[in-house]
Amino acid sequence: MTDSSLSAKPNTPDFSGAIAAVQKIDSVPLILEMVKQVTGMRFAAVARVTETHWVTCAVDDSIDFGLIPGSQLELETTICHEIRQNRRPVIFTHASDHPVFSHHHTPKLYGLESYVSIPIITADGGFFGTLCAIDPLPASFDEATVLKSMGLYAQLIAMNLDLHKGLLTSEQALADATEAGVLREQFVAVLGHDLRTPLSAVRLSAELLETRVAEPRSIKMVRAIRQSALRMSSLIEDVLDFARGKLGGGIPVKPLLTDDLQEQFEAVLMELRVVHPHAQIMETLDIPTGLYCDPNRLGQLLSNLVGNAITHGAKGTPIQVRVNTIDQNLVLSVHNTGAAIPADVLPSLFQPFKRPEVGHREDGLGLGLYISNEICMGHHGALDVTSDDAHGTEFVATIPCRLQWA
């Protein structure tokens, strides 16, 4: 296949937002690779499809088809134009032998023999585009299995796009204090139902799919999709905590007499090591029984602080975690080396939606430190930070947690 068969156009500013939204979805590269695996095809893409345009947002290309993110095809030359109108998947494995697509202009124009395209429908019923795979050679696969698998991936992409859109809208709206209360209530409702409910379905479907694949690489990719769904769930819970905290005067803390906080902290650190296998986490834990605290919230506090150190600390250097009790207080410190936090950033470090101007995917929403500080305040404690180039950065949470606190 040659580039001359394409009608590609450069990216236009009108679609930069859609392209950026897809590019920010961590699981898209894995999804495209998984699509190639389950179909046997060598080209997979996510496309934005409107009434007038077909634009590439993400590509995994092993056949030099000639498209990159931002490339455009004439809409009428694509099958996606028809999919947008009827919102139904299209799938065929051998166009030359197909009763319909042997006469269709798209396979002839682009030299295609095998093709799958699944509509991506957002929560508001909008048609974003398609998740598709193509190849100039015939393919051999079970169509029902491929449609189910790619339907799951398309749903996961749509939910990520909804989350991205909701966060952009809410972050801008929350700047207006006169509308903040109403918007937060609406945001809690959206996150609590419209996103969490279908997200649970995606996660359960991924778990079911994992039991039905045997090839090790496929299992790994399905697990990556499930992990992406879990990460989305974590992001949603962070925003819910933020919204509940603002509506109710702080993040809710439910203290109880706790005897196994050390075991819970050890479990949190183990989970972080699994998610971040290259991180070096060195802990010293000396936590007594009989503490009066909210163990789940303190586990969240530890996870947020260590996760922050993994993201922003110097790579390849250990993160030091120390937890003990001094008098009637639990003292939790997390230290990492690396560049100091700029002095002008420190005063607003615990404010919501604060993160570096030029961030990366792992920067998250900018809510982790805000939530951590709220958890400390909910325990009538404090979260402090020191940071300089010579000694690195250390967060210290001091939390009253003996029975006298009750």
pLDDT at residue 6 greater than cutoff 60: no
User: Per-residue pLDDT for 24 more than 80?
Assistant: yes
For the stretch 68-88, pLDDT in tens is 999 999 999 999 999 999 999
CA gap 374, 298 in Å, rounded: 11
Grouping H, G, I as helix, E, B as strand and the rest as coil, residue 322 is strand
pLDDT surpasses 60 at 321: yes
Gap between the Cα atoms of 120 and 29, Å rounded = 16
Tens of pLDDT, residues 261-293: 999 999 889 888 877 889 999 999 999 998 999
- Of the candidates 350, 382, 377, the residue with the CA atom closest to the CA atom of residue 366: 350
Lowest mean pLDDT among 150-164, 227-241, 284-298: 227-241
| pLDDT surpasses 70 at 406 | no
Residue 401 backbone dihedrals phi, psi, to 5 degrees: -145, 10
Q: What average pLDDT does range 159-163 have in this prediction?
A: 87
Query: CATH 3.30.450.40 residue ranges in the chain?
Result: 3-243
Q: Give the percent of the chain with pLDDT over 70.
A: 77
CA dist 307 and 295 (Å) reads 18
What integer best gives the mean pLDDT of the chain? 83
Given a cut of 90, whether residue 339 has pLDDT beyond it is: no
Residue-level pLDDT at 198? 63
How far apart are the C-alpha atoms of 187 and 129, rounded to whole Å?
25
| 175 or 121, higher pLDDT | 121
DSSP assignment letter at 339: S
Position 300 pLDDT exceeds 80: yes
Angle, helices 196-210/216-248, rounded to nearest 10 degrees: 160
pLDDT of the residue at 195: 61
Query: What pLDDT is recorded for position 245?
Result: 62
| 206 or 28, higher pLDDT | 28
Listed in order, strand segments (DSSP E) in 269-391 are 281-285, 291-293, 319-326, 329-336, 382-388
CATH superfamily of 3-243: GAF domain (3.30.450.40)
The dihedral over CA atoms of 323, 326, 331, 337, expressed in degrees to the nearest 10, equals -70
CA distances from 170 to 164, 271, 281, 317, 391 (A): 10, 31, 35, 37, 37
Looking up tokens 């900018």, which residue turns up?
Answer: 366
User: CB atoms < 10 A from the CB of 283, how many?
Assistant: 15
What is the reported pLDDT for 99? 94
Lowest-confidence pick of 104-118, 309-323, 339-353 = 339-353
The helix/strand/coil state of 311 is: helix
Predicted local distance difference test score (pLDDT) of residue 2 = 41
Domain 256-405 CATH superfamily: Histidine kinase-like ATPase, C-terminal domain (3.30.565.10)
Please, is 227 exposed, middle or buried when counting C-beta atoms within 10 Å of its C-beta (0-12, 13-18, 19+)? middle
Name the least confident of 3-7, 47-51, 159-163, 302-306.
Answer: 3-7
pTM of this prediction exceeds 0.75: no
Q: Exposure pattern of 146-173 as b/e (b: 16+ CB <10 Å)?
A: beebbebbbbbbbbbbbbbbbbeebeee
Residues of the chain with CATH 3.30.565.10: 256-405
**Order of strands, sheet of 382-388, starting from the edge strand that comes earlier in the sequence:** 281-285, 319-326, 329-336, 392-400, 382-388
**Residue 356: its pLDDT value, please?**
47
Q: Are 317 and 337 in contact (CB under 8 A)?
A: yes
Pair 46, 32: CB distance under 8 Å:
yes
